[in-house]
Structures are given as C-alpha cells and as structure tokens.
Amino acid sequence: MKNIVFLFLSFFLTFTAFAQEHEEELATQDAKAREKITSIKIAFITERLELTPEQAEKFWPVYREFSTKREELRLQMKDKRKNPDPNKTIDQNDKEELELRLKVRQQELDLEKEYSGKLLNVVPAQKVMSLRKAEDDFRKLLMEQIQKRQMLQQQRQRNDQRLRQRNN
C-alpha cells in the first residue's frame, strides 16, 4: 500500500512539475511573441509616419505611455464583462456594462485629446492625424497574418490526417 501511495505521489509531483514547466514555456513564448509584435509595430508606425530619428526618440516614450493608459481603460471593460455582479439581474448588469462602456469610451477620448496635445509638442499635426490610420492599418495587417497562419496550420493538420489515413 505504501508503495502504491509513493508511486502515485511521485507520478503526481512529476506531472505537476511538467505542467508548470509547460505553462512557463507557453508564457515565455507568449511574451516573446508580444515583444516581436511590438517591435514590428514600432517599425511599421515609424515608417508610416515617416518619423525622423530625432522625432522617433521623443515620440515613442509618449506613445507608449498613451498606449499603456489606453490598455488599462480597456481592461476595466474586459474585467466587468468577465465578472458581472451575481446579485444583480442580467438587465441590471447589462445597463451597468453599457454605462461603463460609454464611460470608458469617453475616458479614451479624453486620453486621446490629452496625448494628442503631448504628441503635437513632438511631431507635426499631420503625423498625429496619421497615427490612428497607421494603428488601424497595423491591426488589420496583424489580423491578416494571424488568419493566414491559422489557415496554414489547419491545412497542415488536414494533410497530416490524410497521411495518417493512407499509412493505416
């Protein structure tokens, strides 16, 4: 009996350690992917806005600060959607979410106004106006790349399945 318990505990601890290593590996890969996307975004926007090295040096710290604050606002909205108040009805939660959504959109607009002013101290107005379009274009490009990769992965999986079927 002791041997069985010992064997079970050993197996469980080994499995747990393996799972943690796998999660850490995925988190590391995810962080690397985010870093790569951020680097590509910086290059893309720098090119689209035709920033000089001097402008880029001043532009990116302000833009990063703006992006961080904008992401924080969006996370508020995401948290609310994930965690509705269980003591309220669906309608009450929906009304709260709607109010929060409008509040967050207003805060995003206020943030954009604030940082547009800060960016105007760094780059010409034309480049500040082009920023939103550059961000949208980058987002579209990123989504297209993700969709292409997903399609290629699905195609590989189908090909692998066909090969396995032929071999059986």
User: What confidence tens digit (pLDDT) does each residue in 40-60 have?
Assistant: 999 999 999 999 999 999 999
- pLDDT at position 27: 64
User: CB-hemisphere CA count at 13 Å for 97?
Assistant: 17
User: What confidence tens digit (pLDDT) does each residue in 69-116 have?
Assistant: 999 998 887 877 777 778 888 888 888 888 888 998 999 999 999 999
- Between CA 31 and CA 39 the distance in angstroms is 12
- pLDDT at position 25: 61
Does the global pTM surpass 0.75? no
- Between CA 97 and CA 106 the distance in angstroms is 14
Per-residue pLDDT at 21 exceeds 60: no
The residue with tokens 């189908």 is: 158
Residues 96 and 88 sit within 8 Å (Cβ to Cβ) = yes
- pLDDT at position 60: 96
Per-residue pLDDT at 12 exceeds 50: no
- pLDDT at position 11: 47
What are the residue ranges spanned by the domains of the chain? 52-122
- Percentage of the chain beyond pLDDT 90 is 53
User: What confidence tens digit (pLDDT) does each residue in 110-147 have?
Assistant: 999 999 999 999 999 999 999 999 999 999 999 999 99
User: CB-hemisphere CA count at 13 Å for 108?
Assistant: 15
- Between CA 125 and CA 121 the distance in angstroms is 9
